[in-house]
Structure 1
């Protein structure tokens, strides 16, 4: 039902995280507090909004839902990619009641909007400490080939220990121009008041300079306690960011030198090419940092962003020296090989669960052991390929169409032996089944299904599982406008020799 939450307080996610209060609602997702039942720690759970994920939809809304999910999946991947200082750790990911969710480290502290509401403006040493940490995190993100696109005070968290964290990678974008853009038609990604002019104009491939513009807006606010532009009767904030000259900080009225005033002004230039580099920003801001052993700002701040600099930040770990060469060959404990018979029995039980469309304990155990058996027997081993298909089937039944499609394609690209043609056909059927909800492409789905049927006709006996899946999917294809062609293909399939049990 539209508007209904799939997640509620008291629910237990992945048999480990007990859901508590809703922390934040906005955009396309909700963020919940949760208790980690293993460690006792409080974590954050971000779930795609129910309105996006399970409401009735027409073709256009189906595309919106698909893009919303893909942005959500990309955010999961980026959290995993940038794991480290200044970005919350990704703890788990999966589906709950048909909707995707991620479990992240909860940063205890205040977001920058709340911090600035208490300290308007903050002392210059505190502003510099926040700015330097933001730029250091952005440097890592940009070098990793990503633009955040939504840098604003609400997406920066100041932890209790004074460290800065950038959150919410929901609309982050790879700088690779070939990367898919998951942006709704007519919707400009970003937040009013911090959006770079080129994004407002609709540029498809913003550079890291777009994040530096957002940072410049925040830096101006740190110093003046005012946003760069405010709503006017005849001009919106977006219009002013797109076209109006940026304001200049005045060293006579603000606690900044000419260098910082000039940096802020250059960060706010309309054209991306006219903005300074990230390294230039760090060079200027570091001149305003507190020194080791300096007293705390007065009045005291909580959280205090100067603390890491006054007490000394942790240095990067020094690489360990190479271990001396062992002259005597060490004893090695031989790793016990998994039992093929035992894993085969487990697979049979998991496949029965999938056939009943109820992936359960056996399916989870197969997926949990997949890496172990693949390492032992190799990716082309039949038991391993069957396990890969179980994992893909689970994702499909949970509604993770893009993830399932990717897993089926992995099997399809595996060079299998001739005797495993049934597994190849099964993977192709899976790809076809995912094409409709993932890309709304019934024509491609029918073409791929037809190719599988033709190959089935050429086999001495049709594999039972593939034969059944072909007929089930045929009913859906018939409803999507391919009835006559589907009936013709099915009649030819029925003339083939009876299917055999795998």
Structure 2
């Protein structure tokens, strides 16, 4: 029988549900088995924490116990993150626990090839294929960043192209949430990630932000579009030194036909200065025109798996996640929105926010916000109330990215005119947007918003100025704390 390094064997049933078939991968931290879920009959991946690695055996007793505590903590955090991240390009969690005192995670099994092997087999890849891979990974990364979670180890070996052509982001073993209260499982000043893909701030041991992932993803995109890494060992400089100090050459130096807008995007993703890197939403926006369209021909030469399938054959592309019964429709889901029902839902959201625990009501309200805007128009006060309560509720709930989008949407779509009231509203909305973006490490934008709000408040009537000043002080305190503690705050 096959036996893992920590003693589990083929045929054993884990958690009373997952029957082990064969080991399919092993790294320094974990071993992964193919298994069958007895509850559903589908194949799954079961990931075990390795408690017997060579590195652990070389440590003395105290060091080994400390290292094991850290590894168990990371493993628990990976379990939590997979349970939160809901995206077809991220394996979902099916179960977790301990088997023979060894922690395990059961998740969707992604069959296919790593991007590393895909590029070895097909390099150079056509532009549409490269864009299809990049866009799918960016979309999965956007889901992670929404929470906000930093992957910290983006590289071709941690990206799968499934048999159905779906780009999938795997291995959240060293991923880290950015929200306050998260436990650090890395000594401050230590460097995580993989050589050749680490952002300069990772190499220097600084705290990561979502823009740290953008740098690593920029290295991946450079390989996709240029056919080689942005930096290679040439005998004169080490890899880390190049990532710290050298500027990558334009992609067009190595590949013909790379559009200028993609060249510019990837080079900005590789900026040494985090503030100059684009966010993942901008990356998606730039990539979208270059992805395949329904009905486009199959790439030549043929490739298996084919990452253009989810774009070309939208009717055949399927979500790899198991179907979940749709929730019952909320009371307001009728042919037309019912004003009283929406008002009652707003009141429920207000109670949730007051109690400091917004959850189900704010999610239902957020699902109706765009519909309310379409049916009732931008001038109806109830629409503004729906959007503001949605934004406030999502912010308090910790969904910073979604809250920022609603705050920005109110400023862009629901405020007309330039009187004192409108100027005060826009200043507050910009402050709230900046407050939300602080979770992603965007401190400079928050500093600018605080400064500009001070100028706006100085020109407003006393009552309006006081409202702006209250929010300005809240955000200013948050900025000051983060600057004092480092960027982003160290959990």
| TM-score (normalised: structure 1) | 0.60
Partner of 2:391: none
- Of 51, 65, 69, which residue of structure 2 is paired with 1:66? 69
DSSP-derived class of the 1:230 partner = coil
Root-mean-square deviation (CA), in Å?
A: 2.7
Partner of 1:200: 203
What runs of 5+ residues in structure 2 fail to find an aligned partner? 320-325, 336-491
Asked whether the 8 Å contact 1:6–1:96 carries over to 2, the reply is no
Partner of 2:10: 9
Asked whether the 8 Å contact 1:50–1:99 carries over to 2, the reply is yes
Asked whether the 8 Å contact 1:198–1:271 carries over to 2, the reply is no
> What CA distance in whole angstroms lies between the structure 2 residues aligned with 1:216 and 1:309?
22
**Which structure exhibits the higher relative contact order, with contacts defined as CA atoms closer than 8 Å and separated by 6 or more residues?**
2
Asked whether the 8 Å contact 1:246–1:269 carries over to 2, the reply is no
Residues 83-482 of structure 1: pairs in structure 2 closer than 5 A: 83-176=86-179, 178-183=181-186, 187-204=190-207, 206-250=208-252, 253-312=255-314, 322=332
Asked whether the 8 Å contact 1:64–1:184 carries over to 2, the reply is no
DSSP-derived class of the 1:8 partner = coil
* Cα 1:83–1:280 shift into 2, 3 Å: closer
DSSP-derived class of the 1:50 partner = coil
CA drift at 1:70: 0.3
Asked whether the 8 Å contact 2:93–2:106 carries over to 1, the reply is yes
CA drift at 1:270: 0.8
Asked whether the 8 Å contact 2:223–2:229 carries over to 1, the reply is yes
> What CA distance in whole angstroms lies between the structure 1 residues aligned with 2:328 and 2:140?
22
Residues 411-457 of structure 1: CA deviation (Å, up to 9, x unaligned):
xxxxxxxxxxxxxxxxxxxxxxxxxxxxxxxxxxxxxxxxxxxxxxx
Residues 239-279 of structure 1: CA deviation (Å, up to 9, x unaligned):
21112112211279422111111111111111111112222
CA drift at 1:199: 0.5
> What CA distance in whole angstroms lies between the structure 1 residues aligned with 2:334 and 2:301?
54
What runs of 5+ residues in structure 1 fail to find an aligned partner? 326-502
* Cα 1:223–1:19 shift into 2, 3 Å: same
Partner of 1:31: 32
> What CA distance in whole angstroms lies between the structure 2 residues aligned with 1:145 and 1:292?
32
Asked whether the 8 Å contact 1:6–1:50 carries over to 2, the reply is no
CA drift at 1:159: 1.3
Which protein is bigger by CA-based radius of gyration?
Answer: 1
DSSP-derived class of the 2:252 partner = coil
> What CA distance in whole angstroms lies between the structure 1 residues aligned with 2:125 and 2:254?
18
| TM-score (normalised: structure 2) | 0.61
CA drift at 1:12: 1.9
Residues 34-49 of structure 1: pairs in structure 2 closer than 5 A: 34-49=35-50
